[in-house]
Amino acid sequence: MTVPCCTPQTTSPTPTESLAARYRAVREASVQLAEGLSDADATVQSMPDASPVKWHLAHTTWFFETFLLQPHVDRYRSFDARYAFLFNSYYESAGPRHPRPQRGLLTRPTLADVLAYRAHVDAAMLERCLPADLTHEIGTLVMLGLNHEEQHQELMQTDLLHLFAQNPLRPASRPALAHERPAGPLEWLAFDGGRHRVGHHGEAFAFDCETPAHDILIYPFALASRVVTNGQWRAFIEDGGYRTASLWLSDGWQTVGAQGWAHPLYWESQDSVWRSMTLAGMQPLDDDAPVCHVSYFEADAFARWAGKRLPTEFEWEVAARTRADRLEQLYGPVWQWTASPYIAYPGFKPAAGAVGEYNGKFMCGQFVLRGGSRATPAGHARVTYRNFFYPHQRWQFCGLRLAEDR
Digit-coded pLDDT (tens) for 219-234: 999 999 999 999 999 9
For residue 6, what pLDDT band results from cuts at 50, 70 and 90? very low
Digit-coded pLDDT (tens) for 112-148: 999 999 999 999 999 999 987 788 889 989 999 999 9
Contact residues for 1 (Cβ-Cβ < 8 A; gap 6+): 49, 389, 390, 393
Quick one: average pLDDT of 69-76?
94
Q: Residue 162: its pLDDT value, please?
A: 98
Measured distance CA(117)–CA(196) in Å, rounded: 47
For residue 9, what pLDDT band results from cuts at 50, 70 and 90? very low
Q: For the chain, first and last CA: distance in Å?
A: 36
E strand or H helix that includes residue 134: none
For residue 65, what pLDDT band results from cuts at 50, 70 and 90? very high
Q: Residue 205: its pLDDT value, please?
A: 92
Q: How many CB atoms lie within 10 A of CB 134?
A: 17
E strand or H helix that includes residue 120: helix 111-124
Measured distance CA(109)–CA(117) in Å, rounded: 10
**DSSP character for 366?**
-
CATH architecture, domain defined by 188-405: Alpha-Beta Complex (3.90)
3-state secondary structure of 199: coil
Cα dihedral: 293, 37, 283, 390 (round 10): 0
Digit-coded pLDDT (tens) for 160-199: 999 999 999 999 988 876 666 778 899 999 999 999 999 9
Q: Residue 176: its pLDDT value, please?
A: 73
For residue 77, what pLDDT band results from cuts at 50, 70 and 90? very high
Task: Count CA atoms within 13 Å of residue 274 on its CB side.
Answer: 18
HEC readout, 62-80 = HHHHHHHHHHHCCCCCCCC
Nearest to 401 by CA among 187, 148, 95, 177: 187
E strand or H helix that includes residue 204: none
Measured distance CA(290)–CA(108) in Å, rounded: 39
What would the CATH number be for the domain defined by 16-165? 1.20.120
Measured distance CA(92)–CA(354) in Å, rounded: 8
Q: Kindly report the pTM of this predicted structure.
A: 0.94
- Residue type at 113 in one-letter notation: D
Q: Residue 177: its pLDDT value, please?
A: 67
Q: Alpha-carbon torsion 356, 358, 360, 361, what sign?
A: positive
Domain locations in the chain as residue ranges: 16-165, 188-405
For residue 357, what pLDDT band results from cuts at 50, 70 and 90? confident
Q: Residue 17: its pLDDT value, please?
A: 62
Nearest to 398 by CA among 287, 217, 264: 264
Q: Is the pLDDT of residue 302 over 90?
A: yes
